Chain A
């Protein structure tokens, strides 16, 4: 344990998070959130998505501004490459979720972070989505996340941070475990 009280600042308001955890333990209905995005087709494989509103704490909430995302396929797919591919957005989601977790847990454990870089690689066999081989799945065969963490902590403490971040990560759960997905159309 620490011999003295370190002042650690990773920019995470841990007391607010702990207070929120306690409040939501008492009021589980306020913990019911819904995240939303809308996506408009532009042309070809190019689409334009926006994220602005979500629901939580019993009412509609709004981001500070509307965030916009272009998705497309690269030129090797004979597309215009107007944005990252959807599968790359999944990698972005995974890496940013785990990274946010590392910062939060480090703050909670009184560990000062100096730098954190996550490199994510997802291996995909295109024979799946192209329908060439029905034994090959559409999605990633596997994903590797490599964390490079510089922190005032031992190797074991850093490994524990990264492991705990996976344990608490929403996107890690979404990617590693099945989720029921319903897709509907208008009349």
Chain B
């Protein structure tokens, strides 16, 4: 049992929201609108992960005009730009102030347990009793390290993307970056530009041009309905929830970031890191197939855009530029890399994140440690989650995806509190 640090009597509230990032605040806005008494508990400051757990050059993948939260949109002078981290923090900070969210900062949740038809939330600053709980603590709490990471020679610097800030932090010499998502490619680009030779290990990935037919790719994905695609409309939900972030970067010149561009700048692209044996990294020989899969998938997306354009009176296609060329794979991509030769000094794991539910003492995790939930309605009465990949819609993990999810889930939560809990959320929306 927990020893109460903050002591005092437990405080009571209808809803505890865990986490004051964009998701927790969007939910707070919707709960306030529905007159639900709630508190938002934040382990650090508002937008904590954006402040402390991201690298310096990171900008949002989505353009400013798209970056919005319920009742709050971008009002700056650069709607087509991409927010830097200080801008994201300021955006979320201003949102918290504007909506007067009842945030308690510096309060770390240590345990959540079922109690009297609701939940008891123990924190570093006392205890709360609530009937409903919203988990908005994020999908990116703990770096995922593949098993092979333990076999990296100990004289190499091994960093997660949570620890990486900028190239100057790294010793001179070669860098092996593991991961082919937006993160892996962005780091490969900036570290290679810093004069450190980069090998980039790439498994299955998602390739997209930054712009197509004169518009940002996210504009198109909204237009053609891809971003709004619902979790109960897809064939294989488990698969789409595991899809890595698209290879994109948000820069003023709206350039496309892809493997061809990196390779022509000198980045060595290799297959997925499978094993380290005798200090030698072994890469998959399936690189050309994962590139082919990504090319085919990108072209299917662009085909859908062309079809939409045609239905709206715009003919043809615009796939002449270099950003649309098939991914070129070396005829003999390296299958081995000696990690003991001194060529490689640093390994960076851009291998994704997972949520941390170590404080959640409610039996709602599956055998892989994922929350069991139906579009954010967790498999325990009165518990909801926000911000997971493809949680209710493809856009659920993006900032602008929080609004519709928060509206749906707060409606469900209100029904639950009022005792008219309906078994399927699908009927509600």
User: Which of B89-97, B164-172, B285-293, B404-412 interfaces with chain A?
Assistant: B285-293
Stretch in contact with the other chain, from A37-45, A56-64, A125-133, A158-166: A158-166
CB B33 to nearest CB in A, in angstroms, measures 39
List which A148-182 residues lie within 8 A (CB) of chain B. Answer: 156, 159-160, 163-164, 166-167, 172-173, 175-178
Q: How far, in angstroms, from A4 to B49 measured CA to CA in the complex?
A: 49
Interface contact B275-A163, CB-CB below 8 Å = no
Given A28-B367, A142-B332, A156-B299: A176 touches B293 (CB 8 Å cut-off): no
| CB-defined contacts of B296 to chain A, threshold 8 Å | 156, 159-160, 163
> How would residues 262 to 301 of chain B score, 1 for a CB under 8 Å from any chain A CB and 0 otherwise?
0000000001101101000010111001101100100110
Given contacts A177-B274, A178-B275, A167 and B284 within 8 Å (CB-CB): no
Report the Cα distance A176→B284, complex, angstroms: 6
Instruction: Closest B residue to A140 by CB, please name it.
Output: B285
B290 cross-chain contacts in A, Cβ below 8 A: 167
Partner of B285, one of A156, A164, A167, A177: A177
Q: Does more than half of chain A's interface fall in helix, strand or loop, or is it mixed?
A: helix
Q: In the complex the two chains form, is A166's CB within 8 Å of B299's CB?
A: no
**Set of chain A residues within 8 Å of B300, measured between Cβ atoms:** 156
Binary contact readout B339-373 vs A (1 if CB under 8 angstroms, 0 otherwise): 00000000000000000000000000001000000
Nearest-CB residue, chain A, relative to B204? A167
Q: Give Cα distance in the complex from A164 to B293, angstroms.
A: 7
Contact B277 A178 (CB under 8 A): yes
Could you tell me if B289 and A167 are in contact, using CB atoms closer than 8 angstroms? Answer: yes
User: Which residues of B lie under 8 Å from residue A176 when comparing CB positions?
Assistant: 271, 284-286
Bound-state Cα–Cα, A159 to B271, Å: 20
Query: Taking each of B285, B293, B332, which has the highest tally of chain A beta carbons within 10 Å of its own beta carbon?
Result: B285
A175 to B335, CA, bound (A): 12
Name A residues whose Cβ lies closer than 8 Å to a Cβ of B. 28, 142, 156, 159-160, 163-164, 166-167, 172-173, 175-178
Q: Is A178 in contact with B367, judged by CB distance below 8 angstroms?
A: no
* Across-interface contacts of B282 in A (CB, < 8 A): 177-178
Q: How many Å lie between the Cα of A114 and that of B19 in the bound state?
A: 56
- Once the chains are docked, how many angstroms separate the CA of A117 from the CA of B274? 30
Closest residue of A by beta carbon distance from B294 = A163
Closest B residue, CB atoms, query A164: B293
Chain A to chain B: the 9 pairs with minimum beta-carbon distance, closest first: A176-B285, A176-B286, A166-B289, A178-B275, A177-B274, A163-B292, A163-B293, A178-B282, A160-B296
- Residue contact A177 to B284, C-beta cutoff 8 Å: yes
Q: How large is the interface on B (under 10, 10 to 19, 20 to 34, 35 or more residues)?
A: 10 to 19
Cα distance, A156 to B292, chains bound together (Å): 11
Q: Is the CB of B286 within 8 A of A172?
A: yes
Q: How far is the CA of A175 from the CA of B289 in the complex (A)?
A: 13
Sample of 15 more A-B contacts, CB < 8 Å, known A167-B293, A177-B284: A156-B296, A160-B296, A163-B289, A163-B293, A166-B286, A167-B204, A167-B289, A167-B290, A175-B285, A176-B271, A177-B275, A177-B286, A178-B274, A178-B275, A178-B282
Residue of chain A at shortest CB distance from B285? A176
Distance of A166 Cα from B285 Cα, bound (Å): 11
CB distance from B234 to the nearest CB of A (A): 15
A89–B367 CA distance with the chains assembled, in angstroms: 38
State A176–B293 Cα separation when bound (angstroms).
Answer: 16
Q: State the CA gap A160–B303 with chains docked (Å).
A: 14
Whole-angstrom CA separation of A39 from B83 in the bound complex: 64
CA distance A138 to B11 in the complex (A): 70
A159 with B292, Cβ < 8 A, contacts A177-B274, A178-B277 known: yes
A160 contact set on B, CB distance < 8 A: 293, 296
| Bound complex: CA A177 to CA B203 (Å) | 12
Instruction: List residues of chain B with CB within 8 A of the CB of A164.
Output: 293
Expressed in whole angstroms, the minimum distance between the Cβ of A23 and any Cβ of chain B is: 15
Expressed in whole angstroms, the minimum distance between the Cβ of A172 and any Cβ of chain B is 7
Bound: A78/B300 CA distance, A: 53
With a 10 A CB-CB cut-off, give which of B204, B272, B293 has the most chain A CB atoms: B293
Nearest CB in chain B to that of A180: its residue? B275
In whole angstroms, how far apart are the Cα atoms of A28 and B299 in the complex?
A: 35
Q: How far is the CB of B242 from chain A (nearest CB, A)?
A: 13
Distance A173 CA – B286 CA, assembled complex (angstroms): 8
A122 to chain B, nearest CB (A): 12
Contacts of B286 in A (CB 8 A): 166, 172-173, 176-177
Shortest Cβ distance from B236 into A: residue: A21
Q: Taking the nearest CB of chain A, how far is it from the CB of B285, in angstroms?
A: 4
A47 to B93 alpha-carbon distance, docked (Å): 73
In the complex, 11 of the A-B residue pairs with CB atoms within 8 angstroms, ordered by the A residue number, are A28-B367, A159-B292, A160-B293, A160-B296, A163-B293, A166-B289, A167-B289, A167-B290, A176-B285, A177-B272, A177-B274
User: Bound complex: CA of A42 vs CA of B286, how far in Å?
Assistant: 36
Give the complex CA separation of A76 and B300 in angstroms. Answer: 49
Cβ–Cβ < 8 Å partners of A167 in chain B: 204, 289-290, 293
Task: Please give, as numbers and ranges, the residues of chain A lying within 8 Å of B274 by CB-CB distance.
Answer: 177-178
Q: Which of B274, B286, B290 has the most CB of A within 10 A?
A: B286
CB-CB under 8 A from B292, the residues of chain A are 159, 163
Shortest distance from the beta carbon of A126 to any chain B beta carbon, whole Å: 19
Q: How far is the CA of A28 from the CA of B368 in the complex (A)?
A: 11
In Å, the complex CA distance between A28 and B289 comes to 28
Closest to B286 in A: A176
Nearest to A108 among chain B residues (CB) is B235
A177 contact set on B, CB distance < 8 A:
272, 274-275, 282, 284-286
> Which residues of A have CB within 8 Å of B293?
160, 163-164, 167
Taking CB atoms, residues of chain A closer than 8 Å to B275 are: 177-178
